[in-house]
A and B are shown apart, each in its own frame.
Chain A
Amino acid sequence: MAQIAAQRYTGASIRRSEDPRLLTGRGRYVDDIKLPGMLHAAFVRSPLAHARVLSVDVCAARALPGVVAAFTGADLEAMTVPGPDALSTLMGAAGPTPEFTLLATDKVRFAGDPVAVVIAESRYLAEDGCELVEVDYDELPPVASADFALDPGSPPLFANLGDNIARSRSRNEFGDIAATFAGADRVYDFRIDVHRHQNVPMEGRGCVASYDPDLGVLTMHAATQSVHVAKIAVTMRLGMEPDKVRVLAGDIGGSFGLKIGASREELATAAASRALGRPVKWVEDRTENLTASGQAREESFNVRAAVSNDGDLLGLDVTMVIDTGSYPGMGGMVPAIIEAMLPGPYKLAALGFESVGVTTNKAPYVAYRGPWASETFVRERVLDLIAKDLGLDPLEIRLRNAAPRTDPPAVMLTGRPLAGVTTRESLERVAKLADIPAFRRRQAQARAQGRYLGIGVATFIEAAPGPRSPEGASGPMGSESMRLRLDEDGFVVLFTGQMPHGQSHQTTLAQIAADEFGVPFEQVRVVVGDTDVVPFGLTGGSRSATMTGGVTLHGARRLKAKVLDFASHLMEVSAMDLQITDGNVGVRGDPASAVAVSEIARQAASGEFGADVDARLEVEAVFDGGEGGWSGGSHCAVVEVDVETGIVTVERYVAVEDCGVLINPAVVEGQIRGGVAQGIGAVLLERSAYDADGNFQSATFMDYLLPTACDVPRIEIEHLQTVPLDADVNFRGVGEGGMIVAPPTIVNAIEDALSPFGVRIYEQHLPPARILELIATAGSAQPSGSAQPGRSAQPGGR
């Protein structure tokens, strides 16, 4: 394996260059932007889940002093161009897609759907104006569950679909399902449910749109994971030429998948700015964020599992229903990813996967950290349920089924090679760190005292970026571009389409570039967030470590070669004999020859050279992901369940992860811990709850509970030495794994704690009240397994 030129920074927990501004209140978030003449937008939202809009009267609002304008859905339609959701278009969603307007016109589809927007001199006055908008609704029966949505008699949310099927039922089969199930000793039937989650970044959505009527240019200050995707949305919906739209972004207060592109409200804000010729700011409040920004998950899985008496998981046949809410967005894309990932690192012989997506009167569906995470939840839950039934140890059943690392690698049933996957290593290591035998002794002692401890293990792999396809035709995640330049001040400047919102790219990419080019870390500038200067890109899908780390490495290498080539003309030395160290170009072995790179860059900018000399010290680099590779790991949790109150305490949490070569261990560990915290929240606290009429029940932080410093334990992390696949780039993504694997890890531990009660768990949300119910109803509720006819009988079959 080739090495980075120097490893001074890469691999070290370099302090973040973002932090001095953030720690002193000098970050620049979208709500911090104040432009001359700026107005403020507030949205009137539907109080009903499902209703026809009969009339919207904004006259009184318009008459309020301080209100500058009020627009209805019809007004906005006249000001914009009809069109599909930009993200769905970009990702090539198949089939008929729901047709809807920026603000509701004919009907509202969830409690929180925007109906009108009031623009005023302050947010206070805009909200006053909203109070004066009168909307007449004709209430329709709410579609508040996936079951009802599947009923052909349910009132369709979208007229153009004709029913509530957002993603039509489809089925794919891999391997010989009939033979696999017929030959199995046992066939289990489980129904596994995952509840509705949401992202809840500490900063909600928002933008400042500023239209310059003289230039005809719209500048959008956005909080987005991609300024270019946001720009595409603005150009499409506002019907503007790309050169008349510029999207900028500064610091962003988290996203976790929520802020991809531009939302309906942001597009409406942009349209309002253009109509008024003044800057308009919209920043959602927390109620809007919880009610209307977007939600995720809410899937049910009917799982049939074919298993041998020894615990070999031979086949899975899964039917999935996903509740994509009122505006499906990302929801339509989730089932295909779940299908592809369902085999995980295990050697299944057969997989059947059927899925259907439905629309309901709930908030729009968005990406949330590991949008496909339920494949891991289902698989890791099912393995524990089977292990319990067969009397196998949960670790044992995983090791038994994990595909061994072979050359050539085993191939997932759904097509991807499991190249370099270290599942077995991480399972064995996490079990050792957790010292399971010692825990079992402690568990027995605790039980004798009426205390219920449990341990849970789960494992995952994540395609971050995933391996190169067997055909080798394309990279695993498309390509990533970067422009790199040596400035006259000696700075290496990276222009990236990544849009960090907590990922520390301004630190990690600088580490790689500094090492590869040969300048101090402080001499690298990472430019983000301006469609006029950065290439296309998106922060998401855990792509930046490999894709952007890789393009940084290759780009810095090329820039260095170019600088050395130019310097060789200046210094009249062969480029082969030159090197760059610590920001100086010099002849190898001759320290006195050193010239600062800033001096080289100044000469390049000012001198006149022949046609044979390329003095433009800038390169454009593209990286296709190289050989790619998997991220993955195994986590272990120890919990205590108070069976009187139902409160679960996570006592210990150990993660063994493999994300390849670490760029910055502290950054990696922060990603893992943050993801695990969200997983703990998902299981113990968080749920986007609706009542039977589609009223949202968790619209404040008193109702939607985020984990606090008292809920999340210390998370112990160990990094596995990875299996390098690529000659240069073996950094792998680590953004989503924690959130993917923590939920099954915690649930497995809770079930283990409650095993004396015979509790079996088929769901993910386990707040105290539910724990008490599970204990009270244990033994009577759910299934275990059913033996095949003529084979050994199983207890408790459903």
Chain B
Amino acid sequence: MTDIAMTVNGATRTGSVEARKTLADFLRDDLDLTGTHVGCEHGVCGACTVIVDGRAVRSCLMLAVQAAGSEVTTIEGLAPDGALGTLQQAMWDSHSFQCGFCTPGFVMQASAFLSAHPDADEQQIRAALSGNLCRCTGYQSIIDGVLLAARRSRAGISEGISEG
């Protein structure tokens, strides 16, 4: 077992893990951050995407020990206190998701991408999200949510539109 420490959603978290334990399992089992979902365990579906030191990573392919000393953001830390950030709000407004299992991965991937590419167009967003699989939606509503978030961010709007 190896003792590790990392910053997760702004707080220092420690644990004692086997070297083989994935970051996804550490977050879910040791830290009870079950918002990060495990969809394939071989790095294809993207459901487990978290942000490590500013970059979107597959937490099923990264070992917990590899993340020691890093700064990790999960879906739970994207907006404080369970509130919705601009991207999450836009995705709610756009009916982006159905079953919700792929959702945290898409949100984290899109969040990292939009930070680096705030002016991305639809094709760029599709390419950036093409490593995340969704079986429910056909993607259009997800893409629309990201486009709406980008538009609102550029306009400096973070509030949701009112739909009733």
Contact = CB atoms under 8 A, between A and B. Distances in A.
A438 interface: no
A702 interface: yes
Interface in A624-677: 666-667, 670, 673-674, 676-677
Given A702-B42, A709-B130, A674 B92 contact: no
B129 interface: yes
A500 to B, nearest CB: 9
Of A19, A26, A200, A203, chain B has the most CB atoms within 10 Å of the CB of A19
Given A286-B40, A715-B140, A521 B164 contact: yes
Contacts of A256: 135
Contacts of A47: none
Contacts of B36: 25
B39 interface: yes
B45 interface: yes
Given A202-B47, A701-B42, A25 B127 contact: no
Contact of A706 (B107, B133, B143): B133
A122 B30 CA distance: 12
Interface string A682-726: 000000000000000000111000101110101100000000000
A677 B141 contact: no
A467 B99 CA distance: 29
B41 A285 contact: yes
A91 interface: no
Contact of A254 (B34, B44, B99): B99
Interface stretch (A29-37, A69-77, A158-166): A29-37
Interface residues of A, number: 57
B92 A20 contact: yes
Given A25-B76, A252-B99, A710-B130, A15 B84 contact: no
A10 to B, nearest CB: 11
User: Counting chain B CB atoms within 10 Å of each CB, which of A285, A502, A503, A715 scores highest?
Assistant: A502
A26 B35 contact: yes
B54 interface: no
Interface residues of B, number: 61
B100 A251 contact: yes
Residue with the greatest number of chain B CB neighbours at <10 A, chosen from A19, A202, A254 = A202
Given A24-B76, A203-B101, A502-B99, A674 B35 contact: no
A32 B35 CA distance: 8
Interface string B52-82: 0000000000000000000000111011001
Interface in A10-28: 12-16, 18-20, 22-28
A273 to B, nearest CB: 19
Pick the most buried of A14, A29, A708, A715: most chain B CB atoms within 10 A of its CB: A708
Contact of A18 (B40, B75, B100, B164): B100
A531 B92 CA distance: 30
A521 B162 CA distance: 14
Given A124-B20, A202-B102, A674-B135, A24 B34 contact: no
Contacts of A155: none
Nearest to A717: B140
B98 to A, nearest CB: 4
Nearest to B141: A670
Contact of A19 (B20, B28, B92): B92
A495 to B, nearest CB: 22
A32 to B, nearest CB: 4
A760 interface: no
Given A23-B103, A501-B99, A12 B163 contact: yes
A24 B79 contact: yes
A23 B88 contact: yes
Nearest to A204: B39
B9 to A, nearest CB: 10
Interface string B78-108: 1100111000100111010111111110010
A712 B92 contact: no
Contacts of B18: 124
A504 B129 CA distance: 24
Contacts of A285: 41
A84 interface: no
B164 A12 contact: yes
Contacts of A712: 138-140
B126 interface: yes
A676 B95 CA distance: 17
A502 B164 CA distance: 21
Contacts of A708: 129-133, 139
Contact of B135 (A18, A28, A254): A254
Interface in A248-286: 251-254, 256, 285-286
Contacts of B20: 124
A544 to B, nearest CB: 14
B163 A13 contact: yes
A82 interface: no
A678 interface: yes
Given A26-B82, A667-B95, A201 B135 contact: yes
B126 A710 contact: yes
Nearest to A738: B138
B116 interface: no
Contact of B100 (A31, A122, A253): A253
Contacts of A502: 98-100, 136
A504 B164 CA distance: 16
B93 A15 contact: yes
21 contacts: A13-B163, A15-B93, A19-B92, A22-B100, A23-B84, A23-B92, A25-B34, A32-B28, A201-B99, A203-B37, A252-B99, A254-B135, A521-B164, A666-B141, A673-B140, A701-B42, A701-B133, A702-B44, A706-B133, A708-B132, A712-B139
Given A124-B18, A502-B99, A700-B42, 10 more contacts: A8-B164, A23-B92, A24-B75, A29-B37, A124-B20, A670-B95, A670-B137, A674-B135, A701-B42, A710-B130
Closest 8 CB pairs of A and B: A25-B35, A253-B101, A22-B100, A673-B138, A502-B99, A25-B75, A677-B138, A502-B98
Interface of A: 8-9, 12-16, 18-20, 22-29, 31-32, 34, 122, 124, 200-203, 251-254, 256, 285-286, 501-504, 521, 666-667, 670, 673-674, 676-678, 700-702, 706, 708-710, 712, 714-715
